[in-house]
Amino acid sequence: MVFCVSTFGWLTDLSGNRMMCTVEYKATQGQVTRTKALETCKTAETGFTTYIQVLGVSGESSSVTVFTLEDGFIKSATAKETHILAVNARHTTAAKIVSRQNLTLVTIETGPFEAAGKNVASVVKSLDEKLYAVGVTAEKVKSQCKGCQSLFEHWQEVKKQFEPDSLSKAIAPRRFLALIQSIRKASKDEILQVLKSSTKTALPQVVDAVTSSQTPASLDAMLQFLNFADPKGLVLQERFLYACGFASHPNERMLQALVDISKGKIVSNDIKESVVIIMGALVHKLCQKGGCELPTVVEVKKMILEGPDSTQVESDVQMYLLALKNSLLPEAIPLFSKYAESEVGAYCTISLTALQRYDVALITDEVRPFDV
Protein backbone atom coordinates (compact mmCIF):
# COMPACT_ATOMS: atom_id res chain seq x y z
CA MET A 1 0.00 0.00 0.00
CA VAL A 2 1.51 3.33 -1.04
CA PHE A 3 0.47 6.76 0.24
CA CYS A 4 1.03 9.45 -2.38
CA VAL A 5 -0.63 12.32 -0.52
CA SER A 6 0.47 15.56 0.98
CA THR A 7 -0.26 16.72 4.50
CA PHE A 8 -3.96 16.96 3.70
CA GLY A 9 -6.06 15.75 0.81
CA TRP A 10 -9.41 14.38 -0.34
CA LEU A 11 -9.62 11.30 -2.55
CA THR A 12 -12.33 9.02 -3.86
CA ASP A 13 -11.88 5.61 -2.32
CA LEU A 14 -13.33 2.32 -3.53
CA SER A 15 -14.45 0.26 -0.54
CA GLY A 16 -15.09 -3.29 -1.69
CA ASN A 17 -16.89 -3.79 -4.99
CA ARG A 18 -20.14 -2.02 -4.14
CA MET A 19 -19.29 1.22 -2.36
CA MET A 20 -17.44 4.38 -3.35
CA CYS A 21 -16.76 7.04 -0.74
CA THR A 22 -14.91 10.32 -0.32
CA VAL A 23 -11.92 9.88 2.00
CA GLU A 24 -9.75 12.43 3.81
CA TYR A 25 -6.06 11.69 4.38
CA LYS A 26 -3.96 13.57 6.93
CA ALA A 27 -0.24 12.81 7.04
CA THR A 28 1.98 13.63 10.00
CA GLN A 29 5.45 12.39 10.90
CA GLY A 30 5.33 8.61 10.73
CA GLN A 31 1.54 8.44 10.68
CA VAL A 32 -1.35 8.70 8.22
CA THR A 33 -4.95 9.16 9.39
CA ARG A 34 -7.64 8.08 6.96
CA THR A 35 -11.18 9.38 7.65
CA LYS A 36 -13.96 8.05 5.47
CA ALA A 37 -16.95 10.40 4.98
CA LEU A 38 -19.61 7.71 5.21
CA GLU A 39 -22.41 10.11 4.27
CA THR A 40 -20.84 10.41 0.80
CA CYS A 41 -20.74 6.67 0.15
CA LYS A 42 -22.63 5.51 -2.91
CA THR A 43 -23.86 1.94 -2.76
CA ALA A 44 -25.50 -0.29 -5.34
CA GLU A 45 -28.04 -1.40 -2.75
CA THR A 46 -29.55 0.64 0.05
CA GLY A 47 -31.89 -0.34 2.83
CA PHE A 48 -35.39 1.09 2.98
CA THR A 49 -36.19 4.18 4.98
CA THR A 50 -39.57 5.84 4.69
CA TYR A 51 -39.85 9.18 2.92
CA ILE A 52 -41.94 10.41 5.90
CA GLN A 53 -39.25 11.79 8.21
CA VAL A 54 -41.14 11.32 11.49
CA LEU A 55 -41.45 7.58 10.75
CA GLY A 56 -37.89 7.24 9.50
CA VAL A 57 -34.52 6.50 11.03
CA SER A 58 -31.73 8.93 11.88
CA GLY A 59 -28.13 7.86 11.89
CA GLU A 60 -24.61 9.02 12.63
CA SER A 61 -21.55 7.18 11.38
CA SER A 62 -17.79 7.57 11.54
CA SER A 63 -14.85 5.63 10.18
CA VAL A 64 -11.24 6.38 11.08
CA THR A 65 -8.11 4.35 10.32
CA VAL A 66 -4.66 5.26 11.63
CA PHE A 67 -1.60 3.87 9.84
CA THR A 68 1.77 3.96 11.61
CA LEU A 69 4.78 3.93 9.27
CA GLU A 70 8.35 2.83 9.93
CA ASP A 71 11.11 2.93 7.32
CA GLY A 72 8.51 3.22 4.56
CA PHE A 73 6.55 0.17 5.74
CA ILE A 74 3.21 0.04 7.51
CA LYS A 75 4.06 -0.97 11.08
CA SER A 76 0.45 -1.06 12.29
CA ALA A 77 -3.08 -0.14 11.26
CA THR A 78 -5.90 0.58 13.71
CA ALA A 79 -9.44 1.08 12.42
CA LYS A 80 -12.60 2.06 14.26
CA GLU A 81 -16.04 2.36 12.66
CA THR A 82 -19.13 3.49 14.58
CA HIS A 83 -22.78 3.54 13.53
CA ILE A 84 -25.62 4.96 15.64
CA LEU A 85 -29.20 4.44 14.46
CA ALA A 86 -32.34 5.78 16.17
CA VAL A 87 -36.03 5.63 15.32
CA ASN A 88 -37.26 9.22 14.97
CA ALA A 89 -40.64 8.48 16.53
CA ARG A 90 -39.01 6.88 19.61
CA HIS A 91 -35.44 7.94 20.30
CA THR A 92 -35.13 5.43 23.12
CA THR A 93 -35.27 2.75 20.43
CA ALA A 94 -31.73 2.98 19.12
CA ALA A 95 -28.71 0.88 18.31
CA LYS A 96 -24.98 1.56 18.44
CA ILE A 97 -22.53 -0.60 16.53
CA VAL A 98 -18.79 -0.28 17.07
CA SER A 99 -16.25 -2.21 15.01
CA ARG A 100 -12.53 -2.20 15.84
CA GLN A 101 -9.73 -3.81 13.86
CA ASN A 102 -6.03 -3.93 14.61
CA LEU A 103 -3.31 -5.08 12.23
CA THR A 104 0.31 -5.19 13.37
CA LEU A 105 3.46 -6.11 11.46
CA VAL A 106 5.05 -8.86 13.54
CA THR A 107 8.05 -10.03 11.50
CA ILE A 108 9.67 -9.53 8.13
CA GLU A 109 10.85 -12.67 6.36
CA THR A 110 12.31 -13.40 2.97
CA GLY A 111 9.62 -14.72 0.68
CA PRO A 112 9.84 -17.52 -1.89
CA PHE A 113 11.52 -17.04 -5.22
CA GLU A 114 9.50 -15.58 -8.06
CA ALA A 115 7.55 -18.10 -10.13
CA ALA A 116 6.90 -17.75 -13.84
CA GLY A 117 3.58 -18.51 -15.51
CA LYS A 118 1.04 -17.39 -18.08
CA ASN A 119 -1.29 -15.97 -15.44
CA VAL A 120 -1.81 -15.77 -11.68
CA ALA A 121 -4.14 -18.78 -11.59
CA SER A 122 -1.61 -21.09 -13.25
CA VAL A 123 1.19 -19.93 -10.92
CA VAL A 124 -0.94 -20.51 -7.82
CA LYS A 125 -1.91 -23.99 -9.05
CA SER A 126 1.74 -24.88 -9.68
CA LEU A 127 2.60 -23.99 -6.08
CA ASP A 128 -0.16 -26.04 -4.44
CA GLU A 129 -3.17 -27.63 -6.13
CA LYS A 130 -5.16 -27.38 -2.89
CA LEU A 131 -5.14 -23.57 -2.96
CA TYR A 132 -8.32 -21.85 -4.14
CA ALA A 133 -9.56 -18.26 -4.42
CA VAL A 134 -11.66 -16.75 -1.65
CA GLY A 135 -13.40 -13.41 -2.17
CA VAL A 136 -12.52 -10.61 0.24
CA THR A 137 -15.95 -8.99 0.00
CA ALA A 138 -18.69 -10.11 2.33
CA GLU A 139 -21.49 -12.20 0.87
CA LYS A 140 -25.14 -11.88 1.75
CA VAL A 141 -26.10 -14.09 4.64
CA LYS A 142 -29.08 -16.31 3.90
CA SER A 143 -31.26 -16.73 6.94
CA GLN A 144 -31.76 -20.32 7.99
CA CYS A 145 -34.43 -21.34 10.42
CA LYS A 146 -34.80 -24.88 11.72
CA GLY A 147 -38.19 -25.82 13.08
CA CYS A 148 -39.80 -22.51 12.10
CA GLN A 149 -43.45 -22.38 11.12
CA SER A 150 -44.39 -22.15 7.48
CA LEU A 151 -46.71 -19.34 6.42
CA PHE A 152 -49.64 -21.75 6.13
CA GLU A 153 -49.01 -23.14 9.63
CA HIS A 154 -48.88 -19.62 11.00
CA TRP A 155 -52.12 -18.79 9.19
CA GLN A 156 -53.88 -21.82 10.65
CA GLU A 157 -53.11 -20.53 14.15
CA VAL A 158 -54.24 -16.93 13.64
CA LYS A 159 -56.98 -17.10 11.00
CA LYS A 160 -59.79 -16.72 13.54
CA GLN A 161 -58.32 -13.35 14.56
CA PHE A 162 -58.95 -12.08 11.00
CA GLU A 163 -62.68 -12.67 11.10
CA PRO A 164 -64.80 -9.47 11.41
CA ASP A 165 -65.91 -10.31 14.97
CA SER A 166 -62.28 -10.33 16.17
CA LEU A 167 -61.00 -7.19 14.44
CA SER A 168 -61.97 -4.89 17.32
CA LYS A 169 -59.87 -6.81 19.86
CA ALA A 170 -56.55 -5.41 21.07
CA ILE A 171 -54.65 -8.46 19.83
CA ALA A 172 -55.80 -7.99 16.20
CA PRO A 173 -53.15 -5.38 15.19
CA ARG A 174 -50.35 -7.55 16.59
CA ARG A 175 -51.65 -10.57 14.69
CA PHE A 176 -51.83 -8.48 11.52
CA LEU A 177 -48.21 -7.30 11.83
CA ALA A 178 -47.03 -10.82 12.68
CA LEU A 179 -48.74 -12.17 9.56
CA ILE A 180 -47.04 -9.51 7.43
CA GLN A 181 -43.65 -10.61 8.79
CA SER A 182 -44.42 -14.23 7.88
CA ILE A 183 -45.60 -13.25 4.40
CA ARG A 184 -42.34 -11.37 3.76
CA LYS A 185 -40.42 -14.63 4.15
CA ALA A 186 -42.81 -16.69 2.02
CA SER A 187 -42.85 -17.64 -1.66
CA LYS A 188 -45.60 -16.79 -4.13
CA ASP A 189 -47.06 -20.30 -3.96
CA GLU A 190 -47.20 -20.23 -0.16
CA ILE A 191 -49.00 -16.88 -0.24
CA LEU A 192 -51.48 -18.13 -2.84
CA GLN A 193 -52.21 -21.14 -0.63
CA VAL A 194 -53.25 -18.82 2.21
CA LEU A 195 -55.33 -16.61 -0.08
CA LYS A 196 -57.18 -19.57 -1.55
CA SER A 197 -57.84 -21.16 1.85
CA SER A 198 -59.23 -18.01 3.49
CA THR A 199 -62.92 -17.54 4.18
CA LYS A 200 -64.82 -14.83 2.32
CA THR A 201 -65.12 -12.78 5.50
CA ALA A 202 -61.41 -12.95 6.35
CA LEU A 203 -60.14 -12.55 2.78
CA PRO A 204 -60.27 -8.71 2.65
CA GLN A 205 -57.99 -8.54 5.71
CA VAL A 206 -55.63 -11.11 4.17
CA VAL A 207 -55.45 -9.06 0.96
CA ASP A 208 -54.49 -6.04 3.08
CA ALA A 209 -51.72 -8.02 4.78
CA VAL A 210 -50.36 -9.57 1.59
CA THR A 211 -50.25 -6.24 -0.27
CA SER A 212 -48.77 -4.43 2.73
CA SER A 213 -45.88 -6.91 2.92
CA GLN A 214 -44.50 -5.27 -0.27
CA THR A 215 -42.32 -8.11 -1.55
CA PRO A 216 -42.00 -9.30 -5.17
CA ALA A 217 -43.57 -12.64 -4.19
CA SER A 218 -46.57 -11.00 -2.50
CA LEU A 219 -47.19 -8.70 -5.48
CA ASP A 220 -46.99 -11.63 -7.91
CA ALA A 221 -49.42 -13.60 -5.74
CA MET A 222 -51.95 -10.75 -5.65
CA LEU A 223 -51.76 -10.17 -9.40
CA GLN A 224 -52.37 -13.86 -10.02
CA PHE A 225 -55.16 -14.09 -7.44
CA LEU A 226 -57.19 -11.04 -8.47
CA ASN A 227 -59.28 -10.88 -11.64
CA PHE A 228 -60.21 -7.30 -12.50
CA ALA A 229 -62.66 -8.57 -15.13
CA ASP A 230 -64.72 -10.30 -12.43
CA PRO A 231 -67.53 -8.11 -11.00
CA LYS A 232 -67.74 -10.34 -7.91
CA GLY A 233 -64.26 -9.36 -6.74
CA LEU A 234 -64.73 -5.59 -6.46
CA VAL A 235 -64.17 -5.47 -2.69
CA LEU A 236 -60.86 -7.34 -2.93
CA GLN A 237 -59.76 -5.26 -5.91
CA GLU A 238 -60.49 -2.09 -3.97
CA ARG A 239 -58.61 -3.31 -0.88
CA PHE A 240 -55.59 -4.20 -3.03
CA LEU A 241 -55.54 -0.78 -4.68
CA TYR A 242 -55.90 1.13 -1.42
CA ALA A 243 -53.08 -0.91 0.14
CA CYS A 244 -50.90 -0.02 -2.87
CA GLY A 245 -51.76 3.65 -2.39
CA PHE A 246 -50.68 3.52 1.25
CA ALA A 247 -47.52 1.49 0.54
CA SER A 248 -44.63 2.79 2.64
CA HIS A 249 -41.92 1.99 0.07
CA PRO A 250 -43.44 1.35 -3.37
CA ASN A 251 -41.15 0.52 -6.26
CA GLU A 252 -41.31 0.83 -10.02
CA ARG A 253 -42.57 -2.73 -10.32
CA MET A 254 -45.69 -1.96 -8.27
CA LEU A 255 -46.40 1.08 -10.44
CA GLN A 256 -45.87 -1.01 -13.60
CA ALA A 257 -48.36 -3.57 -12.25
CA LEU A 258 -51.00 -0.83 -11.96
CA VAL A 259 -50.18 0.39 -15.47
CA ASP A 260 -50.72 -3.13 -16.80
CA ILE A 261 -54.01 -3.40 -14.90
CA SER A 262 -55.21 -0.07 -16.35
CA LYS A 263 -54.50 -1.34 -19.87
CA GLY A 264 -56.38 -4.59 -19.28
CA LYS A 265 -60.07 -5.32 -18.89
CA ILE A 266 -61.59 -3.66 -15.83
CA VAL A 267 -65.28 -4.35 -15.31
CA SER A 268 -65.90 -1.48 -12.86
CA ASN A 269 -65.51 2.21 -13.72
CA ASP A 270 -64.88 2.97 -10.04
CA ILE A 271 -61.98 0.51 -9.97
CA LYS A 272 -60.62 1.95 -13.23
CA GLU A 273 -60.65 5.44 -11.70
CA SER A 274 -59.03 4.17 -8.50
CA VAL A 275 -56.18 2.57 -10.46
CA VAL A 276 -55.30 5.86 -12.18
CA ILE A 277 -55.71 7.96 -9.02
CA ILE A 278 -53.46 5.64 -7.02
CA MET A 279 -50.86 5.66 -9.80
CA GLY A 280 -50.61 9.39 -9.14
CA ALA A 281 -49.92 8.72 -5.45
CA LEU A 282 -47.18 6.21 -6.32
CA VAL A 283 -45.58 8.69 -8.72
CA HIS A 284 -45.39 11.20 -5.86
CA LYS A 285 -43.71 8.71 -3.51
CA LEU A 286 -41.27 7.47 -6.15
CA CYS A 287 -40.32 11.04 -7.10
CA GLN A 288 -39.67 11.80 -3.43
CA LYS A 289 -37.15 8.95 -3.43
CA GLY A 290 -35.41 10.34 -6.52
CA GLY A 291 -37.15 8.04 -9.01
CA CYS A 292 -38.85 10.67 -11.16
CA GLU A 293 -36.85 9.61 -14.23
CA LEU A 294 -37.66 5.90 -14.01
CA PRO A 295 -39.22 4.72 -17.31
CA THR A 296 -42.55 3.70 -15.77
CA VAL A 297 -42.79 6.94 -13.77
CA VAL A 298 -42.13 8.96 -16.93
CA GLU A 299 -44.85 6.98 -18.74
CA VAL A 300 -47.42 7.58 -16.00
CA LYS A 301 -46.50 11.26 -15.69
CA LYS A 302 -47.10 11.72 -19.41
CA MET A 303 -50.43 9.90 -19.21
CA ILE A 304 -51.90 11.89 -16.31
CA LEU A 305 -50.53 15.25 -17.52
CA GLU A 306 -52.09 14.78 -20.96
CA GLY A 307 -55.22 13.13 -19.57
CA PRO A 308 -57.48 16.11 -18.67
CA ASP A 309 -57.25 17.66 -22.14
CA SER A 310 -57.55 14.33 -23.96
CA THR A 311 -61.18 13.62 -23.08
CA GLN A 312 -64.57 15.30 -22.88
CA VAL A 313 -65.95 12.80 -20.37
CA GLU A 314 -66.40 14.67 -17.10
CA SER A 315 -65.67 11.68 -14.86
CA ASP A 316 -62.44 10.95 -16.75
CA VAL A 317 -61.27 14.57 -16.43
CA GLN A 318 -61.91 14.39 -12.68
CA MET A 319 -60.00 11.11 -12.53
CA TYR A 320 -56.90 12.62 -14.15
CA LEU A 321 -57.10 15.78 -12.03
CA LEU A 322 -57.28 13.68 -8.85
CA ALA A 323 -54.29 11.62 -10.03
CA LEU A 324 -52.35 14.84 -10.63
CA LYS A 325 -53.41 16.13 -7.22
CA ASN A 326 -51.95 12.98 -5.64
CA SER A 327 -48.75 13.24 -7.68
CA LEU A 328 -48.04 16.88 -6.77
CA LEU A 329 -46.01 17.24 -9.96
CA PRO A 330 -44.78 20.83 -10.47
CA GLU A 331 -45.60 20.39 -14.18
CA ALA A 332 -49.29 20.12 -13.24
CA ILE A 333 -49.54 23.65 -11.79
CA PRO A 334 -50.45 25.31 -15.13
CA LEU A 335 -53.14 22.66 -15.66
CA PHE A 336 -54.63 23.26 -12.23
CA SER A 337 -54.52 27.01 -12.87
CA LYS A 338 -56.48 26.47 -16.07
CA TYR A 339 -59.11 24.15 -14.59
CA ALA A 340 -59.50 26.34 -11.51
CA GLU A 341 -61.38 28.74 -13.82
CA SER A 342 -63.63 26.01 -15.18
CA GLU A 343 -67.40 26.36 -15.01
CA VAL A 344 -67.59 22.75 -13.83
CA GLY A 345 -67.63 22.91 -10.05
CA ALA A 346 -65.79 19.62 -9.51
CA TYR A 347 -62.89 20.69 -11.76
CA CYS A 348 -62.60 24.01 -9.95
CA THR A 349 -62.71 22.44 -6.48
CA ILE A 350 -60.11 19.76 -7.25
CA SER A 351 -57.76 22.27 -8.88
CA LEU A 352 -57.96 24.86 -6.11
CA THR A 353 -57.45 22.31 -3.33
CA ALA A 354 -54.52 20.85 -5.29
CA LEU A 355 -52.85 24.25 -5.68
CA GLN A 356 -53.10 24.76 -1.92
CA ARG A 357 -50.86 21.72 -1.39
CA TYR A 358 -47.95 23.08 -3.45
CA ASP A 359 -44.97 24.94 -2.09
CA VAL A 360 -45.52 28.67 -2.60
CA ALA A 361 -42.09 28.89 -4.26
CA LEU A 362 -43.47 26.86 -7.19
CA ILE A 363 -46.24 29.39 -7.90
CA THR A 364 -44.08 31.66 -10.07
CA ASP A 365 -44.94 34.68 -12.21
CA GLU A 366 -45.42 32.33 -15.13
CA VAL A 367 -48.42 30.80 -13.38
CA ARG A 368 -51.66 32.77 -13.22
CA PRO A 369 -52.16 34.07 -9.67
CA PHE A 370 -54.87 32.63 -7.48
CA ASP A 371 -55.71 33.31 -3.88
CA VAL A 372 -54.59 29.90 -2.63
Task: Quote the pLDDT of residue 71.
Answer: 83
- Whole-model pTM: value is 0.70
Mean pLDDT of 323-349: 92
pLDDT above 80: residue 9: no
- Helices (DSSP H) in the chain: which residue ranges? 120-127, 151-158, 171-184, 188-197, 203-213, 216-225, 234-245, 252-263, 269-288, 295-306, 314-327, 333-339, 345-355
Q: How many residues does the structure list for the chain?
A: 372
Task: Quote the pLDDT of residue 50.
Answer: 66
Helix, strand, coil share of the chain (percent; to 5): 45, 20, 35
Instruction: Please give the Cα distance from 34 to 13 (Å, whole number).
Output: 10
Instruction: Please give the Cα distance from 224 to 207 (Å, whole number).
Output: 12
Task: Quote the pLDDT of residue 152.
Answer: 94
Instruction: Please give the Cα distance from 262 to 282 (Å, whole number).
Output: 14
Q: Strand 57-70 to strand 73-87: parallel, antiparallel, or no bridges (unpaired)?
A: antiparallel
Are the C-beta atoms of residues 295 and 259 closer than 8 Å to each other?
no
Where exactly are the structural domains of the chain? 1-41+55-105, 148-212, 226-372
Residue 28 has phi, psi (to 5 degrees) of -125, -175
Instruction: Please give the Cα distance from 186 to 41 (Å, whole number).
Output: 32
Phi and psi based region of residue 147 (left: phi greater than 0; alpha: psi -120 to 50; beta: remaining): left
Are the C-beta atoms of residues 187 and 220 closer than 8 Å to each other?
no
Residue 195 has phi, psi (to 5 degrees) of -60, -45
pLDDT above 80: residue 367: no
Residue 22 has phi, psi (to 5 degrees) of -90, 130
pLDDT tens figures, 186-220: 999 999 999 999 999 999 999 999 999 999 999 99
Residue 143 has phi, psi (to 5 degrees) of -70, 135
Residues facing residue 37 across a β-bridge = 22
Contacts of residue 296, defined as CB under 8 A and 6 or more positions apart, other chains included, come to 252, 255, 256, 259
Looking at 47-51, 161-165, 177-181, which range is the least confident one? 47-51
- 3-class SS of residue 307: coil
Q: How many C-beta atoms surround the C-beta of residue 46 within 10 A?
A: 9
pLDDT tens figures, 318-334: 999 999 999 999 999 99
pLDDT tens figures, 270-315: 999 999 999 999 999 999 888 999 999 999 999 999 999 999 999 9
Instruction: Please give the Cα distance from 35 to 52 (Å, whole number).
Output: 31
Identify the CA nearest to 167 among candidates 125, 132, 202, 192: 202
Task: Quote the pLDDT of residue 5.
Answer: 43
> Torsion over CA of 185, 220, 193 and 148, rounded to 10 degrees?
-10
pLDDT tens figures, 72-105: 788 999 999 999 988 888 888 899 999 999 999 9
